[in-house]
């Protein structure tokens, strides 16, 4: 999975989670939840959707690594390379 693919998946899923927003305007180091006004329930839904789409299950202790667009992309890239 390329980094580009990952990014576009993230945008698609964020849009689904928060339809009224435009995730493509997120800065790389912006806190996603704060910027898009995503509450904890929606955040969980978003991670579930990532799991469904990419087959990557993010454990709770890694939630902290998924707060910005950059860190999330890095994390997913790493995990997908690791074969998962």
Q: Which residues bind another protein (CB under 8 A)?
A: 18-21, 33-34, 37, 39-41, 44-45, 47-48, 51-52, 57-60
Nearer to another protein, 4 or 41 (CB): 41
In the complex with another protein, which residue's Cβ is closer, 21 or 71?
Answer: 21
> What is the smallest separation between the CB atom of 9 and another protein, expressed in angstroms?
16
The CA–CA distances, whole Å, from 47 to 27, 57, 66, 69 equal: 19, 8, 9, 13
Q: Where are the alpha helices (DSSP H) in 18-39?
A: 32-36
State in angstroms the smallest separation of the CB of 3 from another protein.
22
What does the alpha-carbon distance between residue 55 and residue 78 come to, in Å, rounded to a whole number? 13
């Amino acid at each position: 999975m390329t980094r580009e693919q990952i990014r576009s998946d993230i945008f698609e899923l964020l849009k689904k989670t928060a339809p009224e927003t435009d995730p493509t305007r997120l800065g790389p180091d912006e806190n996603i939840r704060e910027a898009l006004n995503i509450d904890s329930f929606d955040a969980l839904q978003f991670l579930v959707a990532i799991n469904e789409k990419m087959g990557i299950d993010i454990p709770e202790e890694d939630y902290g690594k998924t707060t910005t667009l950059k860190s999330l992309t890095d994390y997913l890239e790493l995990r997908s390379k690791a074969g998962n």
